[in-house]
Amino acid sequence: MSRIQAKDPTVILEAGDMSGDLTTSAVKTLHLSKAAVTIKWTGTPTGDFYVQGSADGGTTWDDLTLTGGVPAVAGAAGHHTINLEGLGFDQMRVRYDFSSGTGALTVVFCGKGN
């Protein structure tokens, strides 16, 4: 029987000010095969979210192409959970690209692997 490694839910950004661009802390994903990211926001922000991966220790970051996409924030509070499988990178993070409005952003990460 193989041992499953789990990463407990971890807040990687708490109440970030959405009146400008934001980037969460990076999370090490090297030994994880599955992950979930919950994005929660308040206020009336407008902008776009991107989930990014890095395979070189965080030197370069690329936006991940996600089935179903990542929600755009359109002037109202909300939340969204993104499930990821087959993680082939050593780190990941979430980026918010500001357009207008204000609000607070909290991002929670958890994952597991064999």
Please state, in angstroms and rounded to a whole number, the distance separating the CA atoms of residues 32 and 13.
20
- Residue 2 above 60 pLDDT? no
Distances (CA, A) of 46 to 23, 39, 49, 100: 16, 14, 10, 5
pTM of the model: 0.91
The string of pLDDT tens digits covering residues 21-71 is: 999 999 999 889 999 999 999 999 999 999 999 999 999 999 998 887 777
Please state, in angstroms and rounded to a whole number, the distance separating the CA atoms of residues 15 and 85.
27
Instruction: Give the count of beta carbons closer than 10 Å to the beta carbon of residue 103.
Output: 23
For residue 96, give both structure tokens.
């918010």
CATH superfamily of 15-113: Galactose-binding domain-like (2.60.120.260)
The string of pLDDT tens digits covering residues 6-20 is: 678 999 999 999 999
The string of pLDDT tens digits covering residues 67-112 is: 877 778 999 999 999 999 988 899 999 999 999 999 999 999 999 8
What residue segments make up the domains of the chain, in order of their start? 15-113
Contact residues for 8 (Cβ-Cβ < 8 A; gap 6+): 110
Query: In this structure, are residues 19 and 102 in contact, taking their beta carbons and an 8 Å threshold?
Result: yes
For residue 80, give both structure tokens.
């969204």
